[in-house]
Amino acid sequence: MLNKNQRGFTLIELLVVISIIGFLASLVLVALNSARAKSRDAKRVGDIRQIISGLELYFNDCTSYPSSVVTGITLGAAGQSLSGGSGTNCGTNLGGGGANGGFGTTAGSPIYIAQTPTSPIPADSTCAAASTSTAFGTGTNGNSYLYVGASTTGISTNYNLRFCIGGQVGNLAPLGHMATATGIQ
């Protein structure tokens, strides 16, 4: 026995409900992508602060920052660490690490950063284009972290740690930035 007063949803009502659900889902996805981008930028700034802390510990022991080749050292390679060196060699690593200390895959002692951090991927559009940005300086590297010592042979009294962020983080605007012994610019 069928009740003639009983009614289901019409096709129009179903389509309206489905379209509203689709619209709400698209809003959630846009918000999620924005949160992911902000998370990547926060990680980049956190990584830079971690590297700065390691460099300051290194400086306290070696009275120098690690030297680097002219083009700099791209950080984040597998097995790459920041470690101290021995005696007068401390700080003259030129990207080799080991007995001379500094950044390298052969760790000396003590170890300040066991594994140098890698910039998160995917690169934001501003970071992918950072290699052509004049604000990022010479020897740019897009989405990577690039360390350039003030000296290519021996004692470095300063350094440039170059990085890029895709959006505003605190008082840092999007695009390339440099961290030095005096802070992040």
Q: Domain spans of the chain? A: 38-184
* Residue-wise pLDDT tens digits, 114-147: 999 988 888 777 676 544 444 444 444 577 888 8
pLDDT at residue 78 tops 60: yes
Helices (H) then strands (E): counts for the chain? 2, 8
Residues 156, 66 contacting (CB under 8 angstroms):
yes
Residue 9's pLDDT band (cuts 50, 70, 90):
confident
For residue 89 the two structure tokens come to: 């060699």
Q: Which residue has the higher pLDDT, 4 or 121?
A: 121
Alpha carbon distance 174, 153 (integer Å): 33
Q: Which residues pair with 104 in a beta bridge?
A: 81
* Backbone angles phi and psi of 179, in degrees to 5: -105, 135
* Residue-wise pLDDT tens digits, 22-77: 999 998 888 888 888 889 889 999 999 999 999 999 888 888 888 877 777 888 88
